[in-house]
Structure 1
Amino acid sequence: MTVSKGLENVYVAETSISSIIDDTLKYVGYSIDDLVTNNVSFEEVVYLLWHLRLPNKQELIKFKDEISEHMAVSETIITSLRMQNHQKLHPMSVLRTTVSMLGVFDTESELDDGESIYKKGLRLQAKMPTIVAAFSRIRRGLDPIPPKQGLSVAANFLYMITGEEADPLSVEAMNKALVLHADHEFNASTFTARVCVATLSDVYSGVTAAIGALKGPLHGGANERVFDMLVEIDDASSNVRDYIQYKIDQKQKIMGFGHRVYRGGDPRAKHLKEMSERLTKEKDEEKWYTLSCQVEEAVWDLKHLRPNVDFYSASVYHALGIDVDLFTLVFSVSRVSGWLAHIFEQYRDNRLIRPRAIYVGPESREYQPIEKRI
């Protein structure tokens, strides 16, 4: 028997949802490059992940209407967000608790037929941006703004944060970020969701577990650390190359670079880099794009690592006016679509996920009464 730490290069299941082959990411066979270049809407991608095909015009209209119908959250949820804000919790802890509460108040939370499971997923997908936007406003001392009919998920999310309809470039940037983060094969949070529902636990438990996994800085939390690094460099007026060399010498991880499953670079990064360039210029925040490019160049020269999806998403989210410690919550707004797709798939062909471990502890020990223990 051999152990593969972190399950690296271990294949544990088959999936029809997304694939990573030869540094190419595909959603149900569609290249992420093709989807982003053609400005496919986030709603189309969610439909694709859940139904394993792109919707036609009528199906997309119906799907958008269904999401819009369920976007609003109850006053109970808003009250809970206000209470949690007073506790000074990490925003991902707030999101984790709030999603769990949605299950408490859903009268169908324990129903396990296919239709009920799908409806719960639809409600979760719809409410996630509303929860994140509401908390964004509450923590700034502002009242939450309800979703607006007729806006896309990307446009509604920005509207609920700012109270104003966003400009076309901002909506495009938000939509592309949502599309690029929607799914990523068996990443840590997705695998966590599948392990959870493989016990035949409910949808809300699966998504709550996934949020807990995404919170970590080695997964979704990396984009927060990226912007913290950029601010640190900017505040100290540091020479970028010297800063990166110091990080390397101290054996500190440089957030936003490298990826376990990509060797030639994360295919999502280039799209966010382009979006960062355009958006920061439009918002007069070009210094963050320029600084990011300098960091990218230094890391390549010194470590031969390419940026991953987290690196340029940091400057994009900042240019959109999103607080740094909410970056991972924005990731959740997108990735819940992938979590739910995998939850649906797990339920359809379920087997309890129960791996084994190689025991390396002491053997053949005999019990000693406490009086005889040294």
Structure 2
Amino acid sequence: MFQKGLKGVVAVHTKISLVDGENGVLRYHGTNVKELVLDYSFEQVAYFLLNDKLPTEVELQQFNEKLKEGRYLPLHVQKVMDALPKTISIMDAMRTAISTFSTAEFLQMQIMEQAIVLTGALPVVISRHYRKQLGLPIIEANDNFSHTENYLWMLNGTIPTSTQVEALETYLKLTMEHGLNASTFAARVTVSTESDLPAAVTSAIGTMKGPLHGGAPSEVLNLLEEIKDESRIQLVIEEKIKNGEKVMGFGHRIYKTEDPRSILLREACLRLQGSDPWLDLATKAEKEIIGLLDKYKPGRKLYTNVEFYAAAIMRSIDMPAALFTPTFSVARIVGWSAHVIEQVDDQAIFRPQSLYVGKIK
């Protein structure tokens, strides 16, 4: 049976995550993501996703050491990045830099080690090109900082506040993995040919670059910027509904109820209430917008999706729109790597058929 875009077609069996759209549940290795997000750090959740178990203290220390190893880019990667024109996008710089990791020495490492090193390297690649675009000096990694703290440090050159770190880390943990999405599928297809992890991650980054996959939070940011103040929420939303415009940040192709990631991001924003005006605006706007959508579009069940609060968090830490998709990738590289490892262990090349609909002469 032909399904355009393979919609609804089961292509793999996976033990990594369960995305239950009907009941609004997301599980990593069978564990409700809420349990992981509330109780564990980025590093611990990443380890869990890659290994299907939480680390011991020794295992976490070893994981962190390997993650920090990735913060120091090989000299040839630095040279390639220095040669890139600053006019190319950050996503293109990421794709190019990650592809150059495929040296004989790197590929001799165990694939799990490769995954951890690339996870540690990606924030460095992003911050390096971002600051190059702005004409600013490179900020070296700080090994006293966690993964999330270090990313914000390298981007801005200032020590991030605890509010900024908590907000961003919650987002990163919630977006590490989400089933067989477009970029994850691209990674699995690439490695199914017996290619390597850097090639698979390069494919995934190229896929993530597309606005239909990785660009939604920037559209929500435009909405929040337009609202600006809680007194304007009803005016802005009713105008959009009247004009037939889509209200960004509401509705999801998979979830038929509330997106569990948006619930947890909302809870994070509520915990931080009063610490940032953009987080406060988001929580107030969400409640009013849902009421307006229910009033003007009854029965549609347009719940908040993860992009709504992602945009609020990005805005609260002064992260420009150009960094939204790269930051999404900082989280999702963990999921890509987990799927690549699973694909290697259960090897079968993807070879779907096409149906010819052209002329016959």
Q: TM (normalized to structure 1)?
A: 0.86
Where 1:20 maps in the other structure, the secondary structure is strand
1:273 aligns with 2:266: yes
Alignment of 1:148-297 (within 5 A): 148-234=142-228, 240-241=233-234, 243-245=236-238, 247-248=240-241, 252-279=245-272, 281-285=274-278, 286-287=280-281, 289-297=283-291
- Structure 2 residue 341 is matched with structure 1 residue 332: no
Pairing 1:312–2:309 present: yes
Per-residue CA deviations over 1:308-366 (Å, capped at 9, x if unaligned) read: 1111111101111211110111100010000000000001111011112333333xx33
CA contact (8 A) 1:194 1:346 kept: yes
CA contact (8 A) 2:217 2:249 kept: yes
Structure 2 CA distance for partners of 1:86 and 1:69, relative to 1, 3 Å: closer
Q: Which moved more, 1:350-359 or 1:92-101?
A: 92-101
Secondary structure, counterpart of 1:73 in structure 2: coil
Deviation at 1:298, TM superposition (A): 3.3
Distance between the aligned counterparts of 1:307 and 1:33, measured in 2? Answer: 17
Letter of the structure 2 residue corresponding to residue 327 of structure 1: F
Q: Which residue of 1 aligns with 2:42?
A: 42
Contact map agreement 2:226 2:236 (CA 8 A) in 1: no
* SS of residue paired to 1:86: coil
- Report the counterpart of residue 319 of structure 2 in structure 1: 322
Match of 1:101 in 2: 100
- Which consecutive unaligned segments of at least 5 residues does structure 1 have? 367-374
After the TM superposition, which residues 69-148 of structure 1 pair with which residues of structure 2 at under 5 Å, given as runs? 69-74=69-74, 76-78=76-78, 80-84=80-84, 86-87=86-87, 89-103=88-102, 106-108=103-105, 111=108, 115-148=109-142
**Alpha-carbon offset, residue 292 of structure 1:** 4.9
Query: How many angstroms apart in 1 are the aligned matches of 2:84 and 2:260?
Result: 37
Distance 1:61 1:34 in 2: 22
Map residues 25-36 of structure 1 onto 2, 5 A cutoff.
Answer: 25-36=26-37
Change (3 A) 1:145 1:26: same
Tell me how far apart the structure 2 counterparts of residues 30 and 292 of structure 1 sit (CA, whole Å).
28
> Who is 2:10 aligned against?
11
CA offsets 1:138-167 (integer angstroms, 9 cap, x no match): 333221212112321111112222223322
**% of aligned pairs identical?**
34
- Superposed CA deviations along residues 148-188 of structure 1, whole A, max 9, x for unmatched, are 12321111112222223322222222221111011011111
**C-alpha distance in 2 between matches for 1:110 and 1:68:** 18
Offset of residue 227 of structure 1: 0.6
- 1:63-115 C-alpha deviation (Å, 9 max, x unpaired): 1111112212245544544554532x232222222222333xx333555xxx5
Question: Is the alpha carbon distance of 1:201 and 1:245 closer, same or farther for their aligned partners in structure 2, counting shifts above 3 Å?
Answer: farther
Secondary structure at the aligned position of 2:356 is classed as coil
In structure 1, distance between residues paired with 2:8 and 2:75: 46
Kindly indicate whether the alpha-carbon contact (under 8 Å) linking 1:266 and 1:306 is maintained by their aligned counterparts in 2. Answer: yes
Q: Shift of residue 120 of structure 1?
A: 2.0
Distance (Å, rounded) in 1 between the aligned partners of 2:105 and 2:111: 9
- Cα pair distance change 1:61/1:306, threshold 3 Å: same
Bigger Rg, structure 1 or 2: 1
Partner residue, 2:19:
20
Give, in whole Å, the separation in 1 of the partners of 2:123 and 2:172: 11
The separation in 2 between residues aligned to 1:353 and 1:207, in whole angstroms, is: 17
> TM-score of the superposition, structure 2-length normalised?
0.89
What amino acid does structure 1 have at the position aligned with 2:257? G
> Equivalent residue of 2:151, what SS?
helix
Local SS of the residue matching 1:264: coil
Q: Which residue of 1 aligns with 2:55?
A: 55
Q: Is contact 1:280–1:316 with CA below 8 Å preserved after alignment?
A: no
For structure 1, which segment, 3-12 or 174-183, has the greater mean C-alpha deviation from structure 2 after superposition? 3-12
Q: 1:168 to 1:263 in 2, by over 3 A?
A: same
Bigger drift between 326-335 and 213-222 goes to: 213-222
Which has the higher mean CA deviation after the structures are superposed, 141-150 or 198-207? 141-150
Distance in 2, matches of 1:3 and 1:251, equals 32
Paired with 2:260 and 2:315, the residues of 1 have a C-alpha distance of 21
Q: CA deviation at 1:124?
A: 0.7
- One-letter amino acid of the structure 1 residue matched with residue 251 of structure 2: G
Task: Please state whether the residue corresponding to 1:131 is helix, strand or coil.
Answer: helix
Distance 2:270 2:32 in 1: 23
Match of 1:345 among 339, 342, 350: 342
Q: How far off its partner does 1:272 sit?
A: 1.4
Aligned CA RMSD, in angstroms, stands at 2.5
Rounded Cα–Cα distance in structure 1 between residues aligned with 2:214 and 2:252: 13
